[in-house]
Amino acid sequence: MQTQLPIINIKAQSNHHALFLMLTGIFVAFTTLAFSQGYWLQFKLVLIFIYLSALVVFITGLAKYLQPQYSLCLTPKSLLYHHRYGQWQLEWQQIQRIALMNETFGLTQIQPPYVAIRLVDLTPLAKQISPRLANRLIHEQKPLLALAIKLDYLTLAQCQLNFDPFILSCGQVLKGPLAAFMHHTTLLHSALGYHLFLPETALDRELNAFCSLLTKCKAYSEKYN
């Protein structure tokens, strides 16, 4: 009988309270509707404001609800990242280093809210990530480019979107959003030392604790090879 390998599923902090927000929005809207039957003319502007607020609360909850159930899946062999726009999966052996970033700006220590990952080679990532997710990550990681500019690691001109063909180490030529993402990833690596960045909102615990968890998983993965 084959023993099932252990799996750790991570539920993102950003997914919390989705149903609560949706139900709150619905409750406020219906309560306001009942109240407005007799007081619409007297409190028209106030009631419209409450309706709009209830709609915002409901949409916020719906957005959380539509996110993947788990943001990350850790197995003895791989790290799987789920995103609303797609996913990527890497074997632990394809990951060179996992760490938190600590940068210095003047006398101030800056720790960006990400767990950073340095890859051995970009080819495995490029061959499985979808153009849709690649395009989305470029936009979500703009704060990292802004930080690199602030620290004088990059210039504004270097941070412009680059859609030139990208050649992988295996010789494959990428074009379009995938090429742009590979240029973007290479640029972040040259500036900050890492290729991939897991945002704090995708985690279920503090950055230090989660970075330690990933490091242990990578170390334990050698027992399953």
Residue 39 shares a structural domain with residue 109: no
In a domain, 76, yes or no: no
The residue range of the domain holding 126 is 92-224
Verify that 160 and 203 share a domain, yes or no.
Answer: yes
Question: Residue 105: exposed, middle, or buried by beta-carbon count in 10 A (0-12, 13-18, 19+)?
Answer: exposed
Residues 25 and 119 in one domain: no
* Residue 74 included in any domain: no
Domain match, 104 and 22 both: no
In a domain, 107, yes or no: yes
pLDDT at 2: 42
Domains of the chain: total? 2
Residue 31: its pLDDT value, please? Answer: 83
Do 48 and 102 lie in a common domain? no
Asked if residue 79 belongs to a domain, the reply is: no
Provide the pLDDT confidence category of residue 1 given band limits of 50, 70 and 90.
very low
Same domain, 204 and 165: yes
Task: Give the CA radius of gyration of the chain.
Answer: 22
Q: Is residue 2, in this structure, part of any structural domain at all?
A: no
pLDDT at 153: 92
Q: What's the mean per-residue pLDDT of the chain?
A: 86
* Residue 130 domain-assigned (yes or no): yes
What average pLDDT does range 60-79 have in this prediction? 80
Give domain status of residue 7, yes or no.
no
36 and 108 co-located in one domain = no
Residues 209 and 120 in one domain: yes
**Residue 148 maps to a domain:** yes
The contacts of residue 76 (CB under 8 Å, 6+ apart) are 5, 6, 217, 220, 221, 223, 224
Q: What are phi and psi of 149, to 5 degrees?
A: -65, -45
The answer to whether residue 4 scores a pLDDT higher than 60 is no
Q: Is the pLDDT of residue 219 over 70?
A: yes
Same domain, 53 and 117: no
Last residue of a domain, which of 27, 49, 65? 65
pLDDT in tens, 111-124: 899 999 999 999 99
Q: Do both 61 and 101 map to the same domain?
A: no
Question: Do 42 and 117 fall within a single domain?
Answer: no
Confidence band for 165, pLDDT divided at 50, 70 and 90: very high
- pLDDT value at 148 more than 60: yes
Instruction: For residues 116 and 46, state if they share a domain.
Output: no
pTM above 0.75, yes or no: yes
